[in-house]
């Protein structure tokens, strides 16, 4: 009898130990998955400090993971830690083109900044292709710094990371993927501006404000912001299309207004998408008697900022319902 009792207790002990081991393993897996998810979200949103913390934690688990090493090298580059990026790539001794590219780009930027006698900008990390005129570079930075301060005040929000600015001369540097002819500057995680527009003040000032607004929207949330909301906010800020008449043609559906507008080769379709996007955002901003130029517009903008920030946890319709009591489809119905 005593023997059976001891046997039962021993079995129970090992069962409890096995359950504990499984529980600890599950906790480790859950922690690892949480790191992967947060690292992916931070990388996608350009939150480099957050991304670095999580990538380094993952590298502590698997120090020889090449993809994680490449991510860390890229994060150092994006934070203007060029010398540190070069040292890190050298320490890895990886004979891969993507590592070499990061090292060469770091060396090139350091050399060009020295040759142009450019100081580091407070809020922008500068890249350029070719040899743009120093005056063009300084003018772009000057306008962007003014726009940056204005947007910080407007949204009551200050981004945690520097923003990348690429002044380019050839299409090779205009970002990933082909662009229709109607596209000028773009924001794809970096502000990509054709340097030739710097000759035309009436063109580049609203253009820089517009693209910088996209950078702010991205900094506000890790969510994928629907295009109508993203482009609508940027157009309200740059004010270059205010009071444009309703374009001819069919009303775009919500799916068209959610997908990237640069996929549209037809400029007339693009014009409609931009017009309806701006009107949808204005429908959110100018509610309850608020009008353009009204002192309450700032409060409306900050309400819109809060809605954008909630996209990550609530989704588009969830955030819109919380702050405006409407879905995206209902907002579109209001401007039809």
User: Higher confidence at residue 175 or residue 21?
Assistant: 21
Strand order in the sheet with 186-187: 124-128, 163-168, 190-194, 186-187
Q: How far apart are CA 36 and CA 47, in angstroms?
A: 14
CATH class of 23-115: mainly alpha
Contacts of 5 (CB under 8 A, 6+ apart): none
Measured CA to CA, the distance from residue 290 to residue 332 in angstroms comes to 19
Distance (Å, whole) CA 209 – CA 156: 16
pLDDT given for residue 323 in this prediction: 96
* 160/65 Cα distance (integer angstroms): 28
- Of 74, 42, 72, the closest CA to residue 60 belongs to 72
Question: In angstroms, how far is CA 229 from the centroid of its own chain?
Answer: 14
Using the predicted structure, report yes or no on whether residue 172 has a pLDDT greater than 70: no
Candidate from 73-77, 216-220, 243-247 with smallest mean pLDDT: 243-247
Q: Please tell me which residue, 295 or 8, carries the higher pLDDT value.
A: 295
pLDDT in tens, 189-208: 888 888 888 777 788 888 88
| Tokens, residue 176 | 């990933």
Give the tens place of pLDDT for each residue, 90-134.
999 888 889 999 999 899 888 888 877 777 788 998 887 777 788
pLDDT band at 186 (very low <50, low <70, confident <90, very high): confident
C-alpha–C-alpha distance, residues 261 and 248, integer Å: 18
Q: Which CATH number fits domain 116-220: 3.30.2410, 3.30.70, 3.30.1450, 2.60.40?
A: 3.30.2410
Residue 181 reports pLDDT greater than 50: no
What is the residue extent of each domain of the chain? Answer: 23-115, 116-220, 221-336
């Amino acid at each position: 009898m005593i023997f059976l009792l001891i046997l039962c207790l021993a079995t129970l002990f090992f069962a409890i130990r096995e359950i504990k081991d499984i529980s600890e393993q599950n906790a480790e897996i859950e922690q690892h998955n949480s790191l992967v998810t947060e690292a992916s979200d931070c990388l996608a949103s350009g939150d480099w400090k957050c991304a670095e913390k999580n990538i380094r934690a993952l590298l502590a688990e698997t120090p020889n993971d090449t993809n994680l090493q490449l991510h860390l090298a890229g994060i150092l580059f994006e934070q203007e830690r060029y010398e540190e990026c070069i040292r890190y790539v050298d320490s890895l001794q990886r004979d891969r083109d993507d590592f070499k590219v990061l090292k060469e780009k770091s060396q090139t930027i350091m050399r060009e900044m020295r040759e142009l006698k450019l100081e580091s900008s407070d809020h922008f990390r500068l890249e350029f292709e070719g040899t743009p005129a120093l005056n063009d570079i300084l003018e772009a930075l000057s306008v962007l710094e003014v726009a940056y301060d204005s947007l910080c005040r407007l949204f009551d929000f200050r981004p945690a990371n520097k923003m990348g600015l690429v002044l380019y001369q050839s299409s090779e540097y205009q970002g990933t993927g082909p662009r229709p002819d109607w596209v000028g500057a773009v924001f794809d995680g970096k502000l990509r501006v054709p340097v030739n527009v710097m000759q035309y003040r009436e063109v580049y000032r609203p253009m820089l404000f517009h693209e910088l607004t996209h950078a702010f929207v991205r900094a506000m949330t890790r969510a994928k912001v629907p295009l109508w909301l993203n482009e609508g906010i940027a157009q309200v800020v740059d004010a270059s299309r205010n009071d444009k008449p309703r374009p001819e043609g069919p009303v775009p559906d919500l799916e068209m207004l959610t997908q990237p507008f640069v996929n549209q080769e037809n400029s007339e379709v693009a014009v409609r998408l931009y017009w309806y996007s701006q009107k949808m955002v204005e429908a959110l901003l100018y509610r309850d008697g608020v009008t353009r130029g009204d002192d309450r517009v700032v409060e409306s903008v900050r309400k819109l900022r809060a809605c954008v920030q909630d996209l990550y946890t609530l989704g588009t319709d969830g955030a819109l319902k919380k702050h405006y009591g409407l879905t995206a489809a209902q907002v579109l119905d209001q401007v039809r």
